[in-house]
A and B are shown apart, each in its own frame.
Chain A
Amino acid sequence: MNPLESATLSSPALQDQPMIRAEQVEKWYDNNFHVLKGVSLSVNRGEVVVIMGPSGSGKSTFIRTFNALESYQKGSITVDGIKLSHDLKHIEAIRREVGMVFQQFNLFPHLTVLQNVTLAPIWVRRWPKAQAQDGALQLLERVGILDQAHKFPGQLSGGQQQRVAIARSLAMQPKIMLFDEPTSALDPEMVREVLDVMRTLAKSGMTMVCVTHEVGFAREVADRVVLMDGGYLVEANTPDEFFNHPREERTQRFLSQIL
């Protein structure tokens, strides 16, 4: 099954539950900085949520708690019915189901594009090499870089690298995709090719949480748009309401600065 065509479905009993449920999440950094101040959000199956906000608002930290790249001290997070605790077994089980795309791509520079994409299916999912490669080549074709499969990441442009990173995450057939400012490190002319891939992915029914500043993408693709500021979740609304009739005064101020 190809994740770009249809998202994987779990057992029917889990269908009604939200894919991600975060309740009153609080986090302090080691230096006592209070970065998340009781943030609650739930994301339904197949929903696309875009999180916006000024830098330092805690939005990246928030989505990084969903696959336990960041710990949290209070509240609770449940992902696909599994409660995120400090139990390593649970963390690894969740990370297999949650793909993540980073601002800096974080491709493995010593491996070819194809090896980058097949690494986790082979070593974590224990697929035979041939099966992993078939899947990887299909994914690379869909993100439009099949012809670069045997190059190394350093030989690709930023936009191409980010598309490889997306393919690498999708190769694990995740149920959720997290995007942490996927276009912020790209040259302007490369933003579109990455957003196009994300758009196709969203239409295929993938559950997505994206931290991004791309207003056009949020308007067109998102089911809900969220504003975070100073560690609080300020407003969560449909794109139409969010951009045209924001409830909160803070949202209006934010929009007036970026639009």
Chain B
Amino acid sequence: MSPNPLRSQTRLAWIQKNLLNNWFNSLLTICLGCLLVYGGVGFCHWALKSAKWGVIPTNLPLFLVGRFPADQYWRIWLLAVLLAGLSGCTWGMLASAAPRLFSPFNLVAVALAALTMVLFPLPEGNGVLVRGTLLALLLLLLATSWIAYRAHRGRPALARWLSPAWGLMFLVGFWLMVGGLGLPAVSSTTWGGLLLTLFMSLISIALSFPFGVLLALGRQSTLPLIRWLSTLYIEIVRGIPLIAVLFMALIMIPLFLPGNWRLDLVLRAILGLTLFTAAYLAETVRGGLQAIPKGQYEAASSLGLNTPLCLGLIVLPQALKISIPAIVGLFIALIQDTTLVSIVGLFDLLGMSRSILANPLFIGRYAEVYLFIGIFYWAICYAMSQGSRYLERQLNQVK
């Protein structure tokens, strides 16, 4: 098939109009273009010729799950299966308003993911089994999303099971990671890498959200004591850098607790992250609350709604919807801020990388390792921001 002449013409015209419209812009375009090509060639040369990528596959289990006991890996796999299934259901139901479930963009993303799973170098051993399982997970995600997409069209009431299902997911995930109730216990000191990063991020997000909303409401309260306490908390925490909060959580909290109490190290880090994020979240939500016109409160109270009903049914749904972009921005920052726990002795993705780089076998492999984990952070955060935009579009269709 020959290319559409009109289209290629307009593309040429676009280049001419936007990149080469006068001598200065043309010069700029050419200089920047040369710089990009030069940098790209340099990067490719490094990545293909001089980089020693062996450090990645050799340490892949450490990057992904830290020192989680190898005979208990099945628990992580089970968790991944559950997550893939539930994510698929959620995706399918959220997309049920859209005419097509799989847009070209989604298909490209899926193909890329599958390609990575097949081609990514793995440590020797059961490579085929791992690749097969990963592909099966991807397939599971697609299948459940398609089923949920169809099912939700028939019965929209299904969507109300999503939130309880995610709540249950949290509990099951926690159980699978910690153990107990019939499973052998796994100490949190063995957690590490991506697993620890995701665990800390998700739990902190889940805890800081309600706490932050309560603080925001407290700051708006008509009761002076609650207002002052909330304001005091928010202003104090916002005045302290996160690293100081983390040091306090990790070193000072044990001093305050009775001697025989030992609060888990990971739990303390999560506590610090939660308390810190909640203060910022409170200010973000307060912005949303202030955008709600006074008339909404008046209409609600003239109908006889008391304050909790007015907030829960009228004000918060609107305020939180306005705040979604800012809240997701905060959560993305939180995920990146979890790297700070590596300074206080936890082996999250960054901490694990530093410990691997300290191994004499891998000395000097900074660029390879940091590039690798950088891709992970980017992928998580990009997925979150895409997800939030998607959610926003769905909510806006309603209006």
Contact = CB atoms under 8 A, between A and B. Distances in A.
A240 B331 CA distance: 66
Given A108-B296, A110-B399, A168 B304 contact: no
A122 to B, nearest CB: 10
Given A119-B313, A152-B399, A154-B399, A107 B305 contact: no
A155 B299 CA distance: 19
Interface stretch (A95-103, A211-219, A224-232): A95-103
A169 interface: yes
Interface in A81-131: 92, 95-96, 98-100, 102, 104, 106-110, 119-120, 123-124
A9 to B, nearest CB: 20
Interface string B279-309: 0000000000000010110111111111001
A228 to B, nearest CB: 21
Interface in A152-170: 152, 154, 165, 168-169
Contacts of A92: 304, 306
A102 B305 contact: no
B302 A98 contact: yes
A92 B306 CA distance: 7
A89 to B, nearest CB: 10
Q: How large is the interface on B (under 10, 10 to 19, 20 to 34, 35 or more residues)?
A: 20 to 34
B354 interface: no
Given A106-B296, A123-B313, 17 more contacts: A69-B301, A69-B302, A95-B302, A95-B304, A96-B304, A100-B302, A102-B298, A102-B299, A108-B296, A108-B314, A119-B313, A124-B304, A124-B305, A152-B399, A165-B299, A168-B303, A172-B303
Contacts of A154: 399
A119 B303 contact: yes
Interface residues of A, number: 25
Contacts of A102: 295, 298-299
A123 B305 contact: yes
Contacts of B306: 92
Nearest to B302: A100
Contacts of B302: 67, 69, 95, 98-100, 169
A110 B305 contact: no
B398 A120 contact: no
B305 A109 contact: no
Nearest to B299: A106
B318 A109 contact: yes
7 contacts: A67-B302, A99-B302, A99-B303, A102-B299, A106-B298, A124-B303, A168-B303
Contacts of B298: 69, 100, 102, 106
Contacts of A165: 299
B39 interface: no
B303 A95 contact: yes
Contacts of B364: none
B321 interface: yes
A119 B293 CA distance: 19
Given A69-B298, A102-B299, A110 B304 contact: no
B319 to A, nearest CB: 10
Interface of A: 67, 69, 92, 95-96, 98-100, 102, 104, 106-110, 119-120, 123-124, 152, 154, 165, 168-169, 172
B304 to A, nearest CB: 4
A98 B301 CA distance: 11
B308 to A, nearest CB: 10
B60 to A, nearest CB: 46
Nearest first, the 4 closest Cβ-Cβ pairs linking A and B are: A106-B299, A106-B295, A120-B303, A96-B304
Contact of B398 (A95, A100, A152): A152
Nearest to A115: B313
A117 B296 CA distance: 14
Contact of B304 (A104, A107, A120): A120
Nearest to A171: B303
Contacts of B309: 123-124
B307 to A, nearest CB: 9
B391 to A, nearest CB: 14
A30 to B, nearest CB: 14
B184 to A, nearest CB: 48
A28 to B, nearest CB: 19
Interface in B201-255: none
Contacts of B57: none
A120 B313 CA distance: 10
Contacts of A123: 305, 309, 313
Contact of A108 (B299, B304, B321, B398): B299
Contact of B317 (A104, A107, A110, A152): A110
Contacts of A124: 303-305, 309
Contacts of B313: 119, 123
Interface in B67-112: none
A169 B304 contact: no
Contact of B318 (A67, A99, A110): A110
